[in-house]
């Protein structure tokens, strides 16, 4: 009898254990899925924060175009006698102590390999060779059409790369994984080679060298950052100072801008795949884009006075083209649209107000262009994507972005596309990292960097935000509903962010469920404060603008600004921006920033004096 009853008893226990294990597995699965969903949400809003701030900064850079013209008109000291390219080369000697690459033109593959090896070792290319390389590159680009037509029949595959933004490690990773450019391994680099990263000049030198060696197999499309105004001048200026004699920095800047203006606008593969940097609009006309003189359309906005002044500053070679005709409105708008536009899921075509240029184009606009020109696919770049690429408009529009860790280490992967004769895209992803495989960058690090950047933006607009808060706080309680707080934040910052989602990270709730809006500023303070709060807040608000302006006013490109130059620059800046101040306040500010009292201000001193820091960071 005992044996007969023990069997079902054991079976029951086993069944209960299985049910418990199944329930535990389901709970773990639900927890894992919920955790991954939360992490994905955090990654998405981090990317959203980074992009919104980036686009707002781009708008600020565009607004500086008028200021550069203003400064050129009011700075009579910026004149130099004209001299020819040959004379300029003679002024730059290559000393015997120089052990970097020595280039001979026409370049060979050995020269390109020497450049790659030198840059991997953080060696420099001498200024004379930089100048010659730019001059030869301009000569080759001027022979190219506005739109380049390629065929996969000459090679098995064509590689398409997106934005690199001065990140040399990503370019080296692409070459390591995919091989160097050659007749059998053609490349298309789809703009934005420069800016943001630390190695813009190295990337340009490498790409231009391979272009000279393989002009039919390496193709460069122009991006919106291949532009005098859109370049982050302090960043690219620091790159220039590594390579060129400081006294001739602005001459090289003009020569590079001329090279940028001759970059082709688009590439078409097998008459089916259109490759361009930004996007299209409802008026995009590929036939028209292929006809006008692209070098005339240089900036996002008309900056004719600036370019005229730069041309007078230094004549760096013969200009056969007629420089008397400005681009027409249609030429300017067509170029603007393909460099700046972004796709969206909604139908139609509307102005891209977030970037300040181009448009948002829907799937119907894509279909219309494809029908007109019998296209199959549009490959564009221009936007950072978490996985390095994104497919939209029913598979017709592909965004490719090749700069990994663009905003922060771990923020995104990079990718490139392999196009075979069947025109089926194959995506190769990668992520350059200096972490070990066992300690990859965590979402907390990326999130912390994104929120820090956002809080800096909030502090920079403190006065306007407080006015917006108080206009909604009719009782003066210092509290607002979540909806009123979010509306005030968006009305001032105009970043199109999910403020309700971000509320917990930015502000404190009171017991009645309303937001204590002054808590937005609790975790922020100014390091080494000065007594002129209006000047400090203005400086925080226009920090990137001031970096660009200071590099522009730094006549010898030394990276040091004298106190007289600081005073002169600040007066011009305040006059242009409509900010009221007096000489005594400016002098006091300059003396406060000049910590070592050597009579000069470098960028570290200038930015460090007003750097927005987090109290929590100071406790680490």
Give the Cβ contact number of residue 437 at 10 Å. Answer: 6
Q: Cα-atom radius of gyration of the chain, to the nearest Å?
A: 28
CA distances from 480 to 462, 467, 518, 520 (A): 16, 13, 10, 12
Instruction: Give the three-class secondary structure for 164.
Output: coil
Q: Which residues pair with 273 in a beta bridge?
A: 269, 377
Q: Is 225 a catalytic residue?
A: yes
The Cα 545–Cα 549 span in angstroms is 6
Quick one: tokens of 450?
């994104």
- How many CB atoms lie under 10 A from the CB of residue 36? 10
Q: Is 183 helix (H, G, I), strand (E, B) or coil?
A: coil
Measure the CA–CA gap between 569 and 565, rounded to whole angstroms. Answer: 6
Q: Please tell me which residue in 225, 248, 277, 393 is annotated as part of the active site.
A: 225
Host H or E run for residue 134: helix 127-141
- Please give the helix or strand (H or E) that residue 387 lies within, else none: none
CA 447 from chain centre, in angstroms, equals 19
Phi, psi at 327, each rounded to 5°: -65, 145
Rounded to whole angstroms, the Cα distance separating 231 from 249 reads 15
Q: Are 147 and 264 in contact (CB under 8 A)?
A: yes
- What phi, psi does 274 have (nearest 5°)? -95, 125
CA distance 343 to 41: 22
Pairing of the two strands 273-275 and 377-380: parallel
Which residue has 């209006």 as its token pair? Answer: 534
Whole-angstrom distance, CA of residue 251 vs CA of residue 557: 11
Instruction: Give the Cα separation of 535 and 515 in Å (integer).
Output: 29
Strands 560-562 and 600-602: antiparallel
Give the whole-angstrom CA distance, residue 279 versus residue 359. 8
Residue 609 dihedral angles phi and psi, to the nearest 5°: -65, -30
614 backbone dihedrals φ, ψ, rounded to 5° = -100, 135
**Both tokens of residue 578?**
């409509």
Q: Cα(522)–Cα(525) distance, rounded to whole angstroms?
A: 8
- 3-state SS, 299-363, equals CCCCCHHHHHHHHHHCCCCCCCCCCCCCCCHHHHHHHHHHHHCEECCCCCEEECCCCCCCEEECH
Supply the residues annotated as catalytic. 225
């Amino acid at each position: 009898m005992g044996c007969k009853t023990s069997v079902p008893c054991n079976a029951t226990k086993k069944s209960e254990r299985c049910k418990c294990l199944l329930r535990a597995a389901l709970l773990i699965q639900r927890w894992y899925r919920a955790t991954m969903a939360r992490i994905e949400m955090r990654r998405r809003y981090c990317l959203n924060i980074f992009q919104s701030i980036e686009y707002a900064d781009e708008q600020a850079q565009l607004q500086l175009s008028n200021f550069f013209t203003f400064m050129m008109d009011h700075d009579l000291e910026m004149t130099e006698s004209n001299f020819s390219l040959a004379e300029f080369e003679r002024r730059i000697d290559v000393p015997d102590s120089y052990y970097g690459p020595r280039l001979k033109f026409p370049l060979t593959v050995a020269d390109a390999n020497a450049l790659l090896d030198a840059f991997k070792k953080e060696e420099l290319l001498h200024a004379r060779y930089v100048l010659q390389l730019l001059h030869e590159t301009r000569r080759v680009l001027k022979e190219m059409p506005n739109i380049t037509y390629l065929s996969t029949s000459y090679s098995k595959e064509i590689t398409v790369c997106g934005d690199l933004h001065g990140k040399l490690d990503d370019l080296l990773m692409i070459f390591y994984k995919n091989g160097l450019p050659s007749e059998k391994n053609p490349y298309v680099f789809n703009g934005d080679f420069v800016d943001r990263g630390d190695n813009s000049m190295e990337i340009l030198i490498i790409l231009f060298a391979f272009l000279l060696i393989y002009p039919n197999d390496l193709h460069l499309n122009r991006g919106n950052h291949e532009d005098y105004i859109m370049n982050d001048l302090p960043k690219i200026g620091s790159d220039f100072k590594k390579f060129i004699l400081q006294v001739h920095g602005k001459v090289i800047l003009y020569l590079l801008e001329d090279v940028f203006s001759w970059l082709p606008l688009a590439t078409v593969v097998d008459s089916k795949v259109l490759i361009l940097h930004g996007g299209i609009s409802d008026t995009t006309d590929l036939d028209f884009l292929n006809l006008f003189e692209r070098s005339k359309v240089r900036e996002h906005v008309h900056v004719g006075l600036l370019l005229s002044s730069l041309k007078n500053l230094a004549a760096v070679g013969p200009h056969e083209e007629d420089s008397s005709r400005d681009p027409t409105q249609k030429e300017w708008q067509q170029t603007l649209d393909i460099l700046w536009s972004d796709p969206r899921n909604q139908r139609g075509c509307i102005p891209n107000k977030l970037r300040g240029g181009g448009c948002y184009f829907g799937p119907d606009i894509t279909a219309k262009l494809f029908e007109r020109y019998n296209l199959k696919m549009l490959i564009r770049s221009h936007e950072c994507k978490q996985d390095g690429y994104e497919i939209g408009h029913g598979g017709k529009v592909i965004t490719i972005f090749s700069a990994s860790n663009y905003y922060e280490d771990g923020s995104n992967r990079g990718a490139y596309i392999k196009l075979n004769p069947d025109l089926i895209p194959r995506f190769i992803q990668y992520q350059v990292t200096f972490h070990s495989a066992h300690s990859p960058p965590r979402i907390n690090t990326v999130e912390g960097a994104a929120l820090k950047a956002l809080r800096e933006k909030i502090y920079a607009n403190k006065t306007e935000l407080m006015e917006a808060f108080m206009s909604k706080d009719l009782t003066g309680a210092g509290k607002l509903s979540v909806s009123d707080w979010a509306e005030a934040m968006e009305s001032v910052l105009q970043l199109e962010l999910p403020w309700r989602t971000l509320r917990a990270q930015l502000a404190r709730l009171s017991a009645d469920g309303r937001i204590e809006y002054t808590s937005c500023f609790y975790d922020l303070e100014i390091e080494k404060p000065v007594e002129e709060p209006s000047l400090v807040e203005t400086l925080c608000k226009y920090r990137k603008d001031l970096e660009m302006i200071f590099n522009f006013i730094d006549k010898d490109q030394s990276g040091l600004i004298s106190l007289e130059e600081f005073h002169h620059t600040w007066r011009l800046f305040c006059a242009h921006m409509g900010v009221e101040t007096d000489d005594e306040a400016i002098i006091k500010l300059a003396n406060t920033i000049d910590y070592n009292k050597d009579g000069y201000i470098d960028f570290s001193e200038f930015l460090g004096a007003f750097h927005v820091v987090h109290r929590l960071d100071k406790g680490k």
